[in-house]
Amino acid sequence: MIWVPGVPRVQGVLWARRALVTPLALVALVALMAPVALKAPLAPKALKARLAPRAPLAPSQQSPNHTLTAVGGLKVGQHTLSERPTGCTVILAEQGAVGGVDVRGSAPGTRETDLLNPTNLVEKVNAIVLSGGSAFGLASADGVVKYLEEKHVGFPTGAGVVPIVPAAILYDLQVGNGSVRPGADCGYAAARAATADPVTEGNVGAGAGATVGKLMRSDRGMKGGIGSAAIELPGGLVVAAIVAVNATGNITDPTTGQFIAGGRTDDGRSIADLRAMLRGATARPPGARRSQSIENTTIGVVATNATLTKAQATKLAQMAHDGYARSIYPSHLMIDGDAIFALATGTRDGAPDMNRLGALAADAMSEAIVRAARAATGIPGYPAARDLK
Q: Which tens digit of pLDDT belongs to each residue from 51-67?
A: 333 333 333 333 489 99
Let me know: does 261 contact 241? Beta carbons within 8 Å: no
Task: Identify the DSSP state of 266.
Answer: T
- Provide CB contacts within 8 A for 228, sequence distance 6+: 66, 67, 68, 76, 199, 201, 240, 241, 242, 243, 368, 371
Distance, C-alpha 337 to centroid of its chain: 21
Angle between helices 310-327 and 354-375 (to 10 degrees): 40
* pLDDT at 48 exceeding the cut of 50: no
Task: Identify the DSSP state of 351.
Answer: -
Give per-residue pLDDT as tens, 154-169.
999 999 999 999 999 9
Own/partner pairs, 80-83, CB within 8 angstroms, 24+ separation: 80/203, 80/204, 80/205, 80/208, 81/180, 81/181, 81/182, 81/186, 81/208, 82/208, 83/176, 83/177, 83/180
Separation CA 201–CA 204 (nearest Å): 7
Let me know: does 66 contact 229? Beta carbons within 8 Å: yes
Residue 144 amino acid letter: V
Separation CA 55–CA 350 (nearest Å): 41
Question: What percent of the chain has pLDDT above 90?
Answer: 70
**SS percent in the chain: helix, strand, coil, step 5:** 35, 25, 40
The residues pairing with 259 across neighbouring beta strands, listed in sequence order, are: 252
For residue 383, the model assigns a pLDDT of 95
For residue 43, the model assigns a pLDDT of 45
Q: Compute CA distances 18 → 7, 11, 14, 15, 59, whole Å.
A: 15, 11, 6, 5, 64
Residue 106 CB coordination number (10 Å): 13
More confident residue, 286 or 188: 188
Q: How confident is the model at residue 275 (pLDDT cuts 50, 70, 90)?
A: confident
For residue 240, the model assigns a pLDDT of 98
* pLDDT at 46 exceeding the cut of 80: no
Name the 3-class secondary structure at 252.
strand
Separation CA 6–CA 12 (nearest Å): 9
* Bridge-based pairing state of the strands 250-253 and 258-261: antiparallel
Least confident of 32-46, 77-91, 108-122, 128-142: 32-46
* pLDDT at 343 exceeding the cut of 60: yes
For residue 276, the model assigns a pLDDT of 86
Task: Write down the pTM of the prediction.
Answer: 0.82
- Residue 116 C-beta-side C-alpha neighbours within 13 Å: 30
More confident residue, 227 or 11: 227
* pLDDT at 137 exceeding the cut of 80: yes
* pLDDT at 185 exceeding the cut of 70: yes
* pLDDT at 191 exceeding the cut of 80: yes
Separation CA 76–CA 372 (nearest Å): 16
Q: How confident is the model at residue 44 (pLDDT cuts 50, 70, 90)?
A: very low
Least confident of 2-6, 311-315, 375-379: 2-6
- Backbone torsions φ then ψ of 317, nearest 5 degrees: -60, -40
Phi-psi group of 322: left, alpha or beta (phi > 0 → left; psi -120 to 50 → alpha; rest → beta): alpha
Least confident of 263-272, 277-286, 373-382: 277-286
- 361 by Cβ neighbours in 10 Å (0-12 / 13-18 / 19+) ranks as buried
For residue 154, the model assigns a pLDDT of 98
